[in-house]
Amino acid sequence: MRSVGVNKSFWKAKKVFITGGTGFIGANLTKKLVNLKADVTLIDRDIKNRNPLKIFKIEDKVNKVLGDVRNSDLVDRIINDYGIEVVFHLSAQPIVGVANRSPVSTFESNIRGTWTILESCRRYKDIVKSIVVASSDKAYGDQKNIPYKEDYPLLGIYPYDASKVCADIIARSYATTFDLPIAVTRLANTYGECDFHLNRIVPGTIISLLRNEVPVIRSDGSLERDYLYVEDAVKGYLLLAESVYQGQNWGEAFNFGTGKLTSVIGLFDLIIKISGKKVKPQILGEAYHEIKNQSLDSTKANVKLKWQPRVTIGKGLKNTFDWYKSHSRIVT
């Protein structure tokens, strides 16, 4: 089935609230919505040294509120004062290693932050018409069969994975119990422009190469993942939000991935080939509490949303490498 495009007229002047809008995926989503002429409001807890909104030249084109998503009074005020119609809840502590070291802070951000946002949406359900909550492929945990399908049980047990299980279930609970317009995304490992979490293999490897440093692989290189280009991820978020606004897919979860497995060392080799350099990584073999192999079946998104990934991993990595190279003064 062929994919469809985002409805540009739907998003024009739409009042949108994004949590995590200055993070990697959130900033790319924000940029797309600004280009679609949406009226975007963000909440941000920290002032970042590397500001993706400034890099994308859209900082003055959004409403930005400093604060914490766990502050229910502040979230209430944002939804009410800005007349929010669509909510994208992407705010989270996103790094597996950080979650293993600091599980409580991860649970606070990823679980408490989710119910705080949803409680405010429940209180203002007369104006909020569409809510999309970010879960993760990690919520599935370690399954016998891959690629994962949406009806698989959520078996995530390590701290980051468990936090996403909880957020996922809480979101669908609010949709069912309170008849709220909520849907959940479960994305594959997403890569692309403006990701400054350098412990992730794609930006970490690229920036090491640009610095003429030896790239580091934390695992033994054998872990296999499904890698999704950020442009395709953003399109999935928008199509899902549109459908929810139109009364469809409430309480549903959707996978967004390619269904293809690439090993960490295989991904590294692809990046090295694009760079034109000859270098071998330092393989630490130190990763722990991580799932061996993961990929997603996105048939449901293809059938119900007419979504499918359009950017191949080769093209996506080339786009990403070229972006970091062209922004080397900022990122290195």
Task: Tell whether 273 is covered by a domain.
Answer: yes
Q: What is the CATH number of the domain that holds 317?
A: 3.40.50.720
DSSP state of 11: H
Region 114-130: what's the mean pLDDT? Answer: 97
> Can 160 be counted among the known catalytic residues?
yes
Task: Tell whether 3 is covered by a domain.
Answer: no
The pLDDT score that the predictor gives to residue 329 is 79
Each residue's pLDDT tens digit, 177-209:
999 999 999 999 999 999 988 888 999 999 999
Each residue's pLDDT tens digit, 159-175:
999 999 999 999 999 99
Residue 201 · residue 217 · CB < 8 Å? yes
Region 79-102: what's the mean pLDDT? Answer: 92
Interaxial angle between packed helices 230-245 and 24-35, expressed in degrees from 0 to 180 and rounded to the nearest 10: 60
Distances (CA, A) of 53 to 22, 23, 33, 42, 326: 7, 9, 12, 11, 17
Region 50-68: what's the mean pLDDT? Answer: 93
Total number of domains in the chain: 1
Task: Tell whether 168 is covered by a domain.
Answer: yes
138 vs 157: CA distance, rounded Å: 9
Q: Which of 140, 148, 158, 160 is catalytic?
A: 160
Task: Tell whether 1 is covered by a domain.
Answer: no
Task: Tell whether 262 is covered by a domain.
Answer: yes
The pLDDT score that the predictor gives to residue 2 is 55
pLDDT band at residue 330 under the 50/70/90 scheme: confident
Task: Tell whether 42 is covered by a domain.
Answer: yes
DSSP string, 26-39: HHHHHHHHHHTT-E
49: left (phi over 0), alpha (psi -120 to 50) or beta: alpha
pLDDT band at residue 48 under the 50/70/90 scheme: low
Region 75-79: what's the mean pLDDT? Answer: 98
Helix (H) or strand (E) holding 43, with range, is strand 39-44
Task: Tell whether 88 is covered by a domain.
Answer: yes
Which of 222, 226, 191, 232 lies closest to 297, judged by CA?
226
Which residues form the domain of 255?
10-331
Distances (CA, A) of 32 to 53, 132, 221, 234: 12, 16, 34, 8
Of the spans 105-109, 299-303, 324-328, which averages the highest pLDDT? 299-303
48 vs 273: CA distance, rounded Å: 32
Task: Tell whether 4 is covered by a domain.
Answer: no
pTM of the model: 0.94
Considering the chain, what is the average pLDDT of its residues? 93
Share of the chain above pLDDT 70, in %: 96
60 vs 40: CA distance, rounded Å: 11
At a CB cut-off of 8 Å and minimum separation 6, what does 177 contact? none
Residue 194 · residue 28 · CB < 8 Å? yes
Each residue's pLDDT tens digit, 238-290:
999 999 999 999 999 999 999 999 999 999 999 999 999 988 888 777 766 67
194 vs 327: CA distance, rounded Å: 9
Local structure of 134: helix, strand or coil: strand
